[in-house]
Amino acid sequence: MATVNDEFTREAAPAKSLRTAVLLVFLLYFATPALWVLFAITKNPSQIFTTFGLWFAQPFHFFENVSELFSYQGGIYARWFGNSIIYAATISAVSTMICAAGAYAFAKYDFWGRKALFSFILGTIMVPNTALVLPLFLLMNKLGLIDTYWGVILPGLVNPFGLYLMRVFWDSGFPTDLLEAARLDGASELRIFWSVGLPLMPTGLVTVALLSFVGAWNNFFLPLIVLNRDSLFPLTLGMNVWNSIIHSGGGKPIYNLIALGSLISVLPLLVAFIFLGRYWQGGITGGATKG
Amino acid sequence: MKKQSKIAYAFLAPFLILFVAFYLSPIVYAAYLSLFTKKRIGLRAAQDVFSGVTNYIRGFQDVNFLTSLKNILIFGIFQIPTMLIAALILALLLDQSRGLLMRVCRTIYFIPYTIPIAIGGLVWGCLYARDLSPVNQLLSTLNLARIDFLSPSLILFSIANITFWTWTGYNMITLFAALKNIPDELSEAARVDGAKRWDIVWRIKLPLLMPTFQLLFLFSIIGTSQIFAEAWVLRPIEYVADNITPNVYIYLTAARDTNYSYAAALAILLAAVVFAISSFLLRKLQPH
C-alpha cells in the first residue's frame, strides 16, 4: 500500500484536548516559582506579605529593589556575582582543555592501562558527593586552601563526565586517517592535537565547557564547606546567607531582594540556555543514551 | 609502542594529577580516617586513636543515621516512580505534539534543571513559608485552614516537590531524545499494518525506551541518596530535623560537631548502601 490511511492514525478530538490540558497544567506548575519571582521583584517586603503572591501590587517598587539589591550590605551582591563568574569561567575554561587533552589520549593512543584506567575514571562518577567533599575539606585544610578561591576552583577542575563526553566527540569527530596523514607530513603530536584536532571539535568543546560552567555556577555544597568569608561566596551561597538573615532574630524580611537576587543569579544560565540550548541538551542526552 | 604510551600519558597528565589530588586521595583519606576515633587519655586533649570498624558499628546503631536512611528510602519509593512516570508521560505527549505549544512546553519543563537547586529551593521556600505561600493566601480568602508545608509531617513531601520540579524536565528531555532516535520506519511499518496511534506508542516506542528508562532510574537512586541543598535551604525558614536526609546529618556531624572520622565512616556507609541497592536493581532489571 503506497498511501497510509490517516483515519487509523488521527487522534480523536477529546484525546487531543486532554493531551493539551495535561501539557498546560504542567506548564503552569513548572512556571509557578518563576511567576512568583516576577511578581515579587515589583513589590516591597510588606506588599509581598499582604498582596497575592501571583499577581501585581500597586505601587511598583522594581527600581527601588534594584538599587537596594546592589547597595545592601555595602553592595556585596555584585561581589558575589563577580565571584560566581570567576569560579565558573575559570573552571569551565581550564577543565574543558584538561578533559580535551585527556580524552584525546584515550581516543587516539594505544597505551598501557588504557581500558582499565578509563573504566576506573568513569566508575568514580558514581561516588557520592559527601564521600568526596568532606574529606576534601580536611585535605584542603592541610594544604591551606580553606577560604580561598583555589579551594573552590581546584576540585572543580576534575570532571570525569566531561572526559567521557570529550572522548565520545573525539571518537566520532576526528578520523584516525587524518591523524596518520598529519604524522606523515611531519607534524608533531602536540601540533596535531592543537592545530588539526581541536579545530574539528567545536561542538564537543562548547558542550563540555557549557556543562562545566553550569555545574560550577550551580555548585553549593563545595563552597559551603570550603568558604567562610562572605567576600568569597558565589551567588548560591550568598543568597542563602541572606535567607538565613531574614529568619534569624530581628532580621529584615528582605524577600524582595531574595526574589530579585535569585532572578539575576539565573540570568546567565537562561541566556546560555537560549543561545546554546542545543549543545546543552546534546551533552545531557549524549551522555545518557550512549552511556 | 613505548613512545606512544609516553605521549598519551603526557596528554593525560593534567587530568590525572588533578584527579588523584582532588578526587581519589580524598576518598582514600576518608576510608583511612574512618578507622579512627577520638579518645581522651587522662587530662590531656582528645587524640585520634586507631579503632578499626568502631565508627561503622556505631553508624549501624545510630538512631539518627538510621532515621535519615529511612526518610530517604520512603522519599525514594514515592518520589522516583512519580517523577519518572510523569517524565515518561510528558515525553510521550510531547512526542505526539507539534508546533508552538510543544516547543514552549519542552523549554519551560526543562528550565528548572538549569537553575541551581540552592536558588530553586530558596524560591520554593518562599512559596512554602506560612505567611507568604500563595496557596495559603488562597486558602485564607476561602476561610480555610492554612497548610504548614514545612511541618514534620509534610516536610519530606515539600522536599520531594522541589526534587520533582528540578529533575522531571531533565528526565523528560532524555526520554524525548531517545524517542526521537527511534527510526520512523518502525512506526511507519506498524501503521501500514493497521496499528493505531497509541498501539504504536505502547507496543513499539515504550519497549524501546526501556534501556534509557532504566539508566534514569539508576541515576535517580544515586541522586536521591545525595539530597542535601533542597533540605538545607529550608532549614533557616522553619525547623527541619538534623536527620532529615543522610547528607544533612553527615554534614552536620562533620561541620557542626567536628566529628570528621565518624562523618567519613557514615559517608562510606551511605555510599555502600547505595551501591548495593543500585547493583541489585541493575541485576534485577537486566534479564541477561
Q: Report the pLDDT averaged over residues B203-220.
A: 89
Q: Is B199 on the interface with A (CB under 8 A)?
A: no
Q: Encode pLDDT of B256-270 as tens digits.
A: 988 889 999 999 999
CB atoms within 10 A of CB A101: 22
| Lowest-confidence region among A152-166, B154-168, B199-213, B223-237 | B199-213
Question: Confidence class of residue B200 from pLDDT cuts 50, 70 and 90?
Answer: confident
Q: Report yes or no on B7 lying in a domain.
A: no
Whether residue A220 and residue B229 make contact (CB cut-off 8 A), yes or no, is: yes
Question: Confidence class of residue B181 from pLDDT cuts 50, 70 and 90?
Answer: confident
Whether residue B22 and residue A137 make contact (CB cut-off 8 A), yes or no, is: no
Whether residue A52 and residue B247 make contact (CB cut-off 8 A), yes or no, is: no
pLDDT at A286 over 80: no
Q: Encode pLDDT of A170-222 as tens digits.
A: 998 899 899 999 999 999 999 999 999 999 999 999 999 999 999 999 999 99
Q: Report the pLDDT averaged over residues B115-120.
A: 94
Contacts with B, A 86-115, CB within 8 Å: 97-99, 101-102, 104-106, 109-112, 114
- Name the closest residue on chain A to residue B12, using Cα atoms: A102
Q: Encode pLDDT of A88-124 as tens digits.
A: 999 999 999 999 999 999 999 999 899 999 999 988 8
Q: Report yes or no on B13 lying in a domain.
A: no
Predicted confidence at residue A11, as pLDDT, reads 67
pLDDT at A276 over 70: yes
Q: Is B268 on the interface with A (CB under 8 A)?
A: yes
Distance from CA of B42 to the nearest CA of A (A): 27
Whether residue B119 and residue A262 make contact (CB cut-off 8 A), yes or no, is: yes
Q: Report yes or no on B4 lying in a domain.
A: no
Predicted confidence at residue A10, as pLDDT, reads 61
pLDDT at B104 over 80: yes
Whether residue A53 and residue B108 make contact (CB cut-off 8 A), yes or no, is: no
Contacts with B, A 164-223, CB within 8 Å: 189, 193, 214, 217-221
Q: Determine which of A25, A30, A119 to mutate to test the interface with B (most B C-beta atoms within 10 Å).
A: A30
- Where is B39: in which H helix or E strand? strand B36-39
Domain that holds residue B259: 63-285
Instruction: Domain count for chain B, please give it.
Output: 1
A110 within 8 A of B4, measured Cβ to Cβ: yes
Question: Confidence class of residue B1 from pLDDT cuts 50, 70 and 90?
Answer: low
Q: Report yes or no on B23 lying in a domain.
A: no
Whether residue A258 and residue B122 make contact (CB cut-off 8 A), yes or no, is: yes
Whether residue A289 and residue B181 make contact (CB cut-off 8 A), yes or no, is: yes
Q: Which of A22, A30, A105 is closest, CB to CB, to B108?
A: A30
Predicted confidence at residue A6, as pLDDT, reads 47
Q: How far apart are CA B89 and CA B25, in angstroms?
A: 43
Q: Report yes or no on B84 lying in a domain.
A: yes
Q: Report the pLDDT averaged over residues B75-84.
A: 96
Q: Report yes or no on B205 lying in a domain.
A: yes
ipTM: 0.90
Predicted confidence at residue A195, as pLDDT, reads 93
A150 or B236, which is more confident: A150
Dump the DSSP string for A241-279. HHHHHHHSTT----HHHHHHHHHHHHHHHHHHHHHHHHH
CA angle B161, B236, A71 (to 5 degrees): 110
pLDDT at A7 over 70: no
Question: Confidence class of residue A261 from pLDDT cuts 50, 70 and 90?
Answer: very high
Q: How far apart are CA B216 and CA B210, in angstroms?
A: 10
pLDDT at A290 over 70: no
Q: Report yes or no on B37 lying in a domain.
A: no
Name every chain B residue with its beta carbon within 8 A of the beta carbon of A214: 114
A280 within 8 A of A211, measured Cβ to Cβ: yes
pLDDT at A249 over 90: no
Alpha helices, DSSP H only, in B62-205?
63-96, 99-114, 117-128, 134-141, 155-181, 184-192, 197-200
Q: Is A280 on the interface with B (CB under 8 A)?
A: yes
Predicted confidence at residue A129, as pLDDT, reads 72
CATH number reported for the structural domain that contains residue B164 in this entry: 1.10.3720.10
The average confidence (pLDDT) of chain A is 88
Q: Which residues contact B233 (CB under 8 A, 6 or more apart)?
A: A240, A243, B117, B118, B121, B122, B125
Q: Determine which of A80, A122, A134, A213 to mutate to test the interface with B (most B C-beta atoms within 10 Å).
A: A134
Q: How far apart are CA A202 and CA B274, in angstroms?
A: 37
Which amino acid belongs to residue B63?
V
Distance from CA of B149 to the nearest CA of A (A): 15
Q: Is B239 on the interface with A (CB under 8 A)?
A: no
Whether residue B89 and residue A22 make contact (CB cut-off 8 A), yes or no, is: yes
Name every chain B residue with its beta carbon within 8 A of the beta carbon of A104: 11
Q: Report yes or no on B31 lying in a domain.
A: no
B250 within 8 A of B266, measured Cβ to Cβ: yes
pLDDT at B51 over 90: no
Predicted confidence at residue B253, as pLDDT, reads 93
A64 within 8 A of A41, measured Cβ to Cβ: no
